[in-house]
Structure 1
Amino acid sequence: MGRTALILGAGLGGMVAAQELRRLLPRTDRVVLVERDAQHVFPPSLLWLMVGERDAEAISRPCEHAARQGIELVRGEVSAIDPAAKTARVGEHTLGGDALVIALGAEYAPQTVPGLADAGLCIYTLEGASAIRDALARLERGRLVVLTATPQYKCPAAPYEAALLAEDFLRRRGRRGECTIDFYAAEPGPMMVAGPAVSAGVRAMLEARDIRYRPEHQVKSVDAGARCIEFANGASAAFDLLLYVPPHRAPAPVREAGLSNESGWIPVDRHTLETKHAGVYALGDVSVIPLKMGRPLPKAGVFAHGQAEVVANNIAAAWTGRGAARRFDGKGMCFIETGGARAGMGSGNFYAEPLPDVRLYQPGLLWHGAKVLYEKYWLWRRF
């Protein structure tokens, strides 16, 4: 009798987990992948879409293509999870597994900030990035504001990349002198989780391009009609175009299952990604791993990818008796697109103590090329 691995979510982490499990397990074992959306969008490429360097079709693939090689794809919305039973409710059906991998990602909640969704454009969605592309093309002059609505969010480099790419877009079209760019951050500094040196380096990238950085501004509300942001510290900011990172939260089925802790996310073992329920794992954006420095491990695709490989390996090793268990080591990297076919790169050990040991490499053609190659690898190798 074969066993079943049930994976909830076909984002970066869920996709890798499903494909690695299918590769490692015998055909008598089932790999079931549940996904709500018909199309898989490669999130890092949304930044290029935002400035017209990609289109939606180029960075999307049908999720059904992931079902090749014996992965059973179930299309539907996860409405409930029973971690003790390792089951999930999907539409009218209850699915179960001998191992359960929760990779449902983060839910965006712009509605928790009054006026935000009506006033601005979200950089983390296909619809938002497409709208930003059109809005930037129309922007002849005025005030561009980039806003992070909370101090912690997925892909910590993304809003800084968005600001730099938007600046490059306007400059190359001869409009930069007519536009101001301000970055209002809820956090005290860029990418603080990577350590003070990386944070200072990213801030220097902004300031070298005359992007005014304003940290520790927690948004309270946004008036779409007046085009004005109100902050908790009493400050306000006017804008003509607002690009934002929304508040994040765990999806409702995760919260309602009692899987999340006081952070709002699922706590896991930092090396195995197992939850408090044996045989139940959480990886990627939906999980939380505290670091010694007092901040959680960043929610980033590179970590979801690495965590998924560890989880799949360990499930397969336990079921087949072949191979050794692996441990997730907290090492990772990310690119920082700056425009002009150049990117910086941060790489290191986020589990290092007392602070993550991360090095920032200055922008150049090499790192941009590496990001392009990873995009091609993902969209063609995984689909």
Structure 2
Amino acid sequence: MARPKESAAKSVVILGGGIGGIAAANRLRRRLGSQHRITIINRYPEFSFAASYLWVMSGQRKPSQITRPLAGLQRRGIELVIGSIDEIDPINRKVTVQGTEITGDHLIVSLGADYSTASIPGLDQAGMTFATLKGAEALGSSIAGFDRGKLVILTAAPLYRCPAAPYEAALLIDAMLRRKGVRGQVDIELHAAEPAPLALAGSNVSDAVKEILRQHSIDYYPSHQVASAETGRISFTDGETEKFDLLGYMPPIKPPSALSTSALAGSTGWIDVDPNSLLTQFPGVYAIGDNTNIPLKIAKPLPRAGVFAHSQALVVADNIASTIKGNSPTATFDGHGGCFLESDFHRASYASGNFYADPSPKVKTKPPSRRSHLAKVVFEYNVMRRWL
């Protein structure tokens, strides 16, 4: 039987150098010959591992330990373009970066999500976010000097990146204060815009997280949507207010600005894709990760989380490589994924399952253990040491 004939040299252009983008680039480089070009376009010259921001906040990592120059990709035969994307033309698979046009035979759009802190008046001035590296470092410094009063963790909207992060932040802050010996002098409250922790994963997961919060004496207030904030006080849409001495928050998100004028944007502003192949409506154009809109059977979107961006990246990379090699693409994203929830410095819970299940996601959770914590450490190592 004759082997499929590999096509002439092709180019794959990846928009975004986050977890999904670098996973796709590495996979493609391993699967394709050197005659095929792989290019990553990213706004900034460095990659930072967002899953470890809370470890920076809690003093378990330094920013330099979770940051790498994207230039390291060039040693692997991956081209790098640094600059802001002005325009995306999915029909012609063309991207304009600061006036320069770049065209690919295949496009992978992995631009993530932009933060929309300004949509909540006063929030940026009232507190610090643990969702950015700079913010996590600043919040950690403030906690280091905090020894009494009320500390509030806030999710500013029901839709945000990494559903476990606010709950993980509260638990790690609890551990920080216990290590300092001042936990008894600090009240920790978690006010969430969503109705339950990790609600899309099901009531069994939500109940498990609520029980962990209870065990750590963290007061939890669900369905509490913030309207505005000022120094020392939060106002909620139900008319209630809450005073605080220190505020850490998860900001709302919005589609990346590069999508706003692109034909890729669907009715929600995010990119609609086939849930299994991650193909958009445009031939040869894929989208993965946070910038996608993938409705689940329960009419809610697939959560924005790095684990999904990573899995989707491998599926898309494998299918592009198969196509270039003259084979039929067969890889599919099946909706499986999981996330870690650090409960202290050495233990983590782990929730995983099938988010595409009908009629609702089927997810199970494992209680906090050292093994799950170490699994997250290993994943961090693989990203930081083997991909860049």
Task: Please give the residue correspondences for 1:214-363 in structure 2 after superposition, counting only pairs within 5 Å.
Answer: 214-224=221-231, 227-322=232-327, 324-363=329-368
Cα deviations across residues 34-78 of structure 1 (Å, max 9, x unaligned)?
Answer: 111121101111111001110000111111102222111011111
CA RMSD of aligned residues (A): 1.1
Question: How far, CA to CA, are the matches of 2:203 and 2:268 in structure 1?
Answer: 23
Match of 1:108 among 107, 112, 115: 115
- State the match for 1:374 in structure 2: 379
For 1:109-130, what per-residue CA distance to the aligned partner results, in whole angstroms no more than 9, with x for missing partners? 1011100011111111011011
Q: Report runs of 4+ in structure 1 exceeding 3 Å deviation.
A: none
- Letter in structure 2 aligned against 1:234: G
Aligned partner (choices 135, 146, 158) of residue 139 of structure 1: 146
TM-fit CA distance, 1:23: 1.5
Equivalent-residue separation in structure 2 for 1:266 and 1:146 (angstroms): 30
The separation in 1 between residues aligned to 2:240 and 2:282, in whole angstroms, is: 45
Which of 49, 52, 55 does residue 42 from structure 1 map onto?
49
Q: Does 1:161 find its partner at 2:168?
A: yes
> Identity of aligned pairs, percent?
45
Assess if the C-alpha contact under 8 Å between 2:19 and 2:310 holds in 1.
yes
1:75 aligns with 2:82: yes
Q: 2:199 aligns with which of 192, 205, 229?
A: 192
Question: Which of 205, 208, 211 pairs up with 2:218?
Answer: 211
Per the alignment, residue 17 of structure 1 pairs with 24
> In the alignment, which residue of structure 2 is the partner of 1:148?
155
Shift of 1:262: 3.0
Aligned counterpart, 1:129: 136
Spell out, residue by residue over 1:284-341, the C-alpha distance to the aligned partner (whole angstroms, 9 max, x if none). 0111110001211111111111100110111111111247521101111111101130
Question: Counterpart of 1:28 in 2: which secondary structure?
Answer: coil
2:208 counterpart of 1:201: yes
TM superposition shift of 1:381: 0.9
Cα separation, 1, equivalents of 2:268 and 2:206: 23
1:20-99 alignment, distance < 5 Å: 20-99=27-106
Tell me which moved more, 160-169 or 68-77. Answer: 68-77
Which residue does the alignment assign to 2:5? none
The one-letter code of the counterpart of 2:322 is A
Q: Which residue of 1 aligns with 2:3?
A: none
Separation (CA, whole Å) in 1 of partners of 2:373 and 2:264: 38
What is the letter of the counterpart of residue 200 of structure 1? Answer: D
Equivalent residue number for residue 4 of structure 2:
none
> What is the aligned partner in structure 2 of residue 119 from structure 1?
126
Number of matched pairs: 381
Instruction: Identify unmatched segments of 5+ residues in structure 1.
Output: none
- How far the C-alpha of 1:378 sits from its partner, in A, is 1.2
Alpha-carbon distance in 1 for matches of 2:345, 2:383: 23
Q: Deviations over 1:330-368 (max 9, x none)?
A: 111111101130100001111111111110100011111
For 1:336, the aligned partner's letter is L
Instruction: Return the alpha-carbon distance in structure 1 between the equivalents of residues 238 and 299 of structure 2.
Output: 24
Structure 2: tracts of 5 or more residues without a match: 1-7
Mapped partners of 1:192, 1:260: distance in 2: 26
Q: Using the alignment, how far apart are the partners of 1:199 and 1:73 within structure 2?
A: 41
Secondary structure at the residue paired with 1:256?
A: coil
1:187-229 alpha-carbon deviations (Å, 9 max, x no partner): 00000011111011111111111111101111111012xx111
C-alpha separation between the residues in 2 aligned to 1:48 and 1:181? 19
